[in-house]
Amino acid sequence: MRKRLAAVLLLMAAAVPPGTAAAADPIYKDPAQPIPARVADLLSRMSLDEKVGQMTQAERGAVTNADITSFRIGSLLSGGGSAPSPNNATSWANMYDSFQNAARATPLGIPMIYGVDAVHGHNNVVGATIFPHNIGLGATRDPALVQRIGRATAEEVSGTGIDWDFAPCLCVARNDRWGRTYESFGETPENATSMTTMITGLQGAKLSDPGSVLATAKHYIGDGGTTDGDDQGNTQLGEADLRAIHLPPFREAVARGVGSVMITYSSWNGTKLHGHRYLITDVLKNELGFSGLVVSDWNAIDQIDGQPGFTAAEVRTSINAGLDMIMVPTEWRQFITLLKAEVQAGRVPMSRIDDANRRILTKKFELGLFERPLTDRSYTPTVGNAAHRALAREAVRKSQVLLKNQNGVLPLPKTASKLFVAGKNADNIGHQSGGWTISWQGGSGPVTPGTTVLQGIRSAVSTSTAVAYHRNGTGIDGSYQAAIAVIGETPYAEGMGDRPGSMGLDSEDLATLNTLRASGVPVVVVLVSGRPLDIAAQLSGWHALVAAWLPGTEGNGVADVLFGDHKPTGTLPFTWMQNAGQQPINAGDGKTPLFPHGFGARFPATQNAYAVIGASYYDEQRGTQVERCTDSGCGQNVGYLTPGDYVAYADVDFGATPPTSVTTRIASGSTAGGTLQYRLDSPTGPVIATVSAASTGGWQTWTSRTAAAGGATGVHRLYLVATGGTGGDLANVNWFQFAR
């Protein structure tokens, strides 16, 4: 009976028409098969319509689900600010799955791939973690940190369904007038090359791993080197210089297995890169061995002939030059029509179409889209989670570059009685995050959840410290220990950020600074900007300057450095100009900068006991207040010292030989008598000097008193303690200095 049944089954199998078994169980749907075999099998089944559809990338707002299915569209993207409503992670995931199901409804069921510009975190999504822009990451000099940021970004992107990130930007920005300077890791090829670790973070050990997304090295090539820093302009360089300055980061990206490369809008010596076969096919694909897919920028093929409206010639030129997928956000129907006609006429060879599809399909298979086409919802809760925000805060503090620190005003004391904060960027998430944040050009105000610099400052100080804030500095007086001015640029992105003229501070910033300086309070400037600014003329009036770049949503990372919880470690990824007329200015060009490439000051490990130590620059106090002195050149003093009050100074170094005396600039209107004692390591520690607090004739009548000192060697925490007397205030102190 079993033999007879087997014979019947064999006869039935023989009667099945050829090809039916393959159609029922195609190789391309079998995950056990090698990817090249799956690609070849799928490619053999595709019509011209399906192949052209795979090469088309449309904007989400310009298609319907029916369009995706009917036109076999292979890819979608969200432009800057293009988001579902409500704009949250779950809505993104739902939108993605809906589009993906439409792609899977095509006869061959080829999944689409969806791209976004997640250039400093998943920055289109409200609630996502916004990391510092690349200019800040370049200042960290920490490739391992950047790789971790890539992984965190990939997880948040995955949690919304998206599988393709148009990042990192590997441009080498050579002129700070360029409006995309903040997208660059630095002015040297070494800066950008070292940070290609972002690619490894985004793509993971392999693309098929959960939480991995396709990375994009952009913008190939030379977009940071255009004449006058003109966005989408002309890079006028010989080939040797192009290769030496702008090619190395892309060479390293290819070596790291980057999945896609995006072409720049700009030109090389007058020829638009989107039509440059030599640089795309001969250099990138053949010489560097890039096997991934090459994608155009937004409507960029329309710029090849310099006329509005893309043509059949532009389509033909771009595809034959080596582009594999064309970003045609709204005019995708016309692109499909034109490309089909060019192929049918023989002006674009089918071999080029097949090569493009092979590259696209390979990445889709490597991503595992055929097996796992829908959002991995296990990653959705990672969007904006505490771990990623902690990582962003770490990146912020490591990106801060200390450029000036007169008299050791930084770090600021957490126990200061009063601090003043001002500036248009102090309490503004939108401003501190910059462009490409929720919307394309960025915005102002609470565009997404986070911690402003002001909020970070208030969280850092003691509960007894009063932090006053006014955007323009109104209300400040000499009673504050320091004024923190958070100033600089407001958001912009490509097309709107070029600064061909002035590169200085705006009138609001200058007015705010004048108000703060007039109070006599030490002014600490926190500069929020996407590039070095022209500030040399104002710098002498600032006690401290910190380049904060565009820190993103975790402004508490700025406060971490201002108050000394973490010492500044960042260094300049760009040469800082003396004035805008020096642009372009880069390391090794012979121009004298205000601050050189690689510069970054540090907090001193110790304070020199034998130099003047300002009394108001304490880091701990009890019962005192800071006020402005009334005599010329005095600055600020510590006042209202009563018995038991003290001020303390960290890491005062007396060296190997003890001091013999200390000079204290003091003023007193008291009749109570009493003394000021210098003690080591605690308010009750060993006394090394005692100064009389007797009246000088008035609370702002200053005199310098010298007293014997001794018994101190090495590094100590130094306390100046008020003691004795008959009660009430004893003295004000301006500064002190030991001698030996």
List residues with catalytic annotation.
Answer: 297, 494
Whole-number Å distance between alpha carbons of 685 and 679: 5
Q: How far is CA 730 from CA 16, 83, 627, 646, 649, in A?
A: 107, 64, 15, 12, 20
3-state secondary structure 253-288: HHHCCCCEEEECCCEECCEEHHHCHHHHHHHHHHHC
Nearest to 303 by CA among 369, 234, 246: 234
- Write a three-state SS string for 205-234: CCCCCCCCCECEEEEECCHHHCHHHCCCCE
If 0-12 CB within 10 Å is exposed, 13-18 middle and 19+ buried, where does residue 284 land?
Answer: buried
Are the CB atoms for 552 and 130 separated by under 8 Å? yes
| CA separation for the pair 253, 265 (Å, rounded) | 20
The amino acid at residue 522 is P
DSSP-derived 3-state class of residue 177: coil
3-class DSSP state of 678: strand
Separation between Cα atoms, residue 115 and residue 193, nearest integer Å: 23
- Between strands 234-235 and 260-263, the pairing is unpaired
Cα–Cα distance for residue pair 198/253, rounded to 1 Å: 10
DSSP conformational letter for 179: T
Tell me whether the omega of the peptide bond preceding residue 221 falls within 30 degrees of 0, making it cis: yes
Contact (CB, 8 A) for 42 and 365: no
As given in the structure block, the two tokens for residue 175 are 């002129």
If 0-12 CB within 10 Å is exposed, 13-18 middle and 19+ buried, where does residue 502 land? exposed
Contact call for residues 105 and 73 (beta carbons, < 8 A) = no
CB 524 within 8 A of CB 376: no
- Helix 35-45 and helix 350-366, axial crossing angle in degrees, nearest 10: 130
- Both tokens of residue 442? 């960025």
